[in-house]
Amino acid sequence: MSSPAVDAVLATPAPAPTARTDVARAFAPASVGNVAVGFDILGHSMGEAGDRAEVRRLAEPEVRIATIRGCVAELPLEPHKNTAGAALLAMREALDLPFGFELTLHKGIALGSGMGGSAASCVAALVAANALLEQPLSREALYRFALEGEAVASGSRHGDNLGPMLLGGLVLATHERLLRIPVPPAWHCALVHPHCVLETRKARAALAGNYALGEFVAQSANLALLLAGCFRGDAALVREGLKDVLVEPRRAPLVPGFIRVKQAALDHHAFGASISGGGPSVFGWYACRADADAAASAMRAAFAEAGLDSDTFVAPVDGPAATLVDALPDEA
C-alpha cells in the first residue's frame, strides 16, 4: 500500500471555482530537462529564472498574441506557430469555450538554452488562462494542452520540462500522467547557461542512428537507481545512477567546452553532472547549497576558458511550480 505522503504528490486537486475575472498573470520557472538519465520523461524546476504571461479574456472565440517582450522578442505572433499560443488554442478547442484569450508574454528564459524556455511559455500561459475559467482545471488536466504547445517548438510531445513546471520539483512525465518524485530539501542544483544557442531540433537530430541494447539496459539501470535514491533520500544511490550513457555522448560535441565544464562540476562533489535538456546549459546535483555555489563558479570559469560568458543559477532540486502573480516585470 502507498503511504499518505506519497499519495499526496500523485495529483493536485482542481482549484475551487473563482469569482469572474477577465485578466490573470502567471510565472513558470525554468527547468532541467532529462536529468541526464530520463530522456524526455524526467525533469525538475529551477525557480531562479522563468517566463511570465498575461492572459485577457476575450468575448470573441479566438486566441490572439498581443506582444512578446523580455530577453526574446522575435517569436511568431501567429498563435498556431507559437508554443504558448498553440497551448491556448488546444485548451479553447478541447473545452469548447465560448470565449477567447489575448496573450502578452514576457520571456525570461532564452530559447535554445536547455532551460525549458518553450515549455515555460506554454505553462505560464495555461496557468493564467486557467484562472479565467469558471471551473479551473487541475494541473494534470492542463498537461495535455501544454504538450501541444511543446510540439510546436521541438516537433515532439514530451513532458520532461512541462511536468516540473506544472507540479514543481522533480517530476516523472509520461504521455499520460505526471508523478512528482520526493527529493530531500537540502539537495541543490547548479545550472550554468553559456551565452550560445543550441536549437532543440538540432539537439534532437544529433540523436539519430542506432543504439546498442546494452546502452539501453545501462541507462534503464541508472534511471532506476536515481529514482530509488530520491525516494529513499540516499545520495549514494543517486551518485551511482546519475550518469548518462545514451544521450550525452552524442550531444557533448555540440556544447563548447563541455568536458571541462562537466569535470568542474564533478570536482566539487557533484552526485553527477550532464547537459540540461537539449543544451547547451550544464547542470550538477549537490548535497548542499554551499557545494552547488562553489561548483557554479568553477563551471562558469570552465566555460570562460572555452571563450564563452555564462549565467549561473543555484536552487533546490525540489523547486517551485508555476504560480499566479500580480504583474509582469515591467509593470511592477
All domains of the chain, ordered by start, with CATH?
Answer: 23-179+319-324 (3.30.230.10), 188-316 (3.30.70.890)
pLDDT digits (tens, 9 = 90+) for 262-272: 999 999 999 99
120 is in an annotated binding site: yes
Q: Is 169 annotated as a binding residue?
A: no
Closest CA to 171 of 10, 3, 7, 1: 10
Name the band, by pLDDT with cuts 50, 70 and 90, for residue 142: very high
- The mean pLDDT value of the chain amounts to 92
Q: Are 77 and 115 in contact (CB under 8 A)?
A: no
Q: Is 118 annotated as a binding residue?
A: yes
Which of 12-26, 119-133, 191-205 bottoms out in mean pLDDT, i.e. has the lowest? 12-26
Q: What is the per-residue pLDDT for 332?
A: 44
In the predicted structure, residue 13 carries a pLDDT above the cut 80: no
Is the pLDDT confidence value at 196 over 60? yes
Examine residue 98 and say whether the peptide bond preceding it is cis (omega within 30 degrees of 0).
Answer: no
β-strand 100-107 against 63-70: which pairing, if any? parallel
Q: What is the pLDDT of residue 157?
A: 86
Residue 6's pLDDT is 35
Q: Facing residues of 78 across strands?
A: none
Judged against a pLDDT cut of 60, whether residue 164 lies above it is answered with: yes
- Answer yes or no: is 112 a known binding residue: yes
Between 127-141, 200-214, 255-269, the lowest mean confidence (pLDDT) is in 200-214
pLDDT on residue 14: 58
Query: Looking at residue 127, what is its pLDDT?
Result: 98
pLDDT at 156: 77
Whether residue 73 is annotated as binding a ligand: the answer is: no
Q: Is 116 annotated as a binding residue?
A: yes
Supply the pLDDT for residue 329: 76
Q: What is the pLDDT of residue 214?
A: 95
> Does 2 belong to an annotated binding site?
no
Give the whole-angstrom CA distance, residue 120 versus residue 117.
Answer: 5
Res 325 pLDDT > 90? yes
pLDDT, tens digit, 9 for 90 and up, residues 77-117: 999 999 999 999 999 999 999 999 999 999 999 888 999 99
Determine the average pLDDT of the residues in 139-161.
92
Q: How confident is the model at residue 10 (pLDDT cuts 50, 70, 90)?
A: very low
- What mean pLDDT is predicted for residues 242-251? 96
Q: Is the pLDDT of residue 18 over 60?
A: no
Q: Is 110 annotated as a binding residue?
A: yes
* pLDDT band (50, 70, 90) for residue 199: confident
Q: Measuring CA to CA, which residue among 103, 99, 39 is closest to residue 76?
A: 103
Q: Is 302 annotated as a binding residue?
A: no
Of the candidates 66, 65, 72, 55, the residue with the CA atom closest to the CA atom of residue 86? 65
For position 201, what pLDDT does the model report? 82
Give the β-pairing of 282-286 and 323-325. unpaired
Is the model more confident about 332 or about 286? 286
User: What 3-state class would DSSP assign to 103?
Assistant: strand
Orientation angle between helical segments 117-130 and 139-154, nearest 10 degrees? 140
pLDDT score of 154 more than 80: no
How many angstroms separate the CA atoms of 63 and 60, rounded? 9
User: What whole-number distance in Å separates Cα of residue 171 and Cα of residue 33?
Assistant: 10
Specify the pLDDT at position 19.
56
Q: How far is CA 74 from CA 42, 43, 71, 82, in A?
A: 29, 27, 10, 11
Residue 248 above 90 pLDDT? yes
